[in-house]
Amino acid sequence: MRVSVDLDRCEAHGVCTGIAPDVFELDDDDVLHVLLPEPPEEWRAQVADAALRCPKQAITVTDEQ
């Protein structure tokens, strides 16, 4: 699985950081960072939930080939 964020859409609401804090982080300037762009498969449910709940739908989760 691969996680990416469209920073042009992201408004730094921080919902994702609350759901998957090991994957997403907001810095002091409210810029979102993906800490683990390829998180472990066992975190899929958390990451998918974070993407689903993103108010701006800025998070994309894809399967690695």
- pTM of the predicted structure, to 2 decimals: 0.92
Give me the pLDDT at residue 42, please: 97
pLDDT digits (tens, 9 = 90+) for 9-58: 999 999 999 999 999 999 999 999 999 999 999 999 999 999 999 999 99
Give me the pLDDT at residue 64, please: 72
C-alpha span between 42 and 29 (Å, rounded): 30
Domain boundary assignment for the chain: 2-62
Task: Report strand pairing: 59-62 vs 24-26.
Answer: unpaired
Q: CA 41: distance to chain centroid?
A: 14
Give me the pLDDT at residue 52, please: 98
Give me the pLDDT at residue 65, please: 57
Give me the pLDDT at residue 11, please: 96
Q: Which CATH number fits domain 2-62: 3.30.70.100, 3.40.50.20, 3.30.1490.70, 3.30.70.20?
A: 3.30.70.20
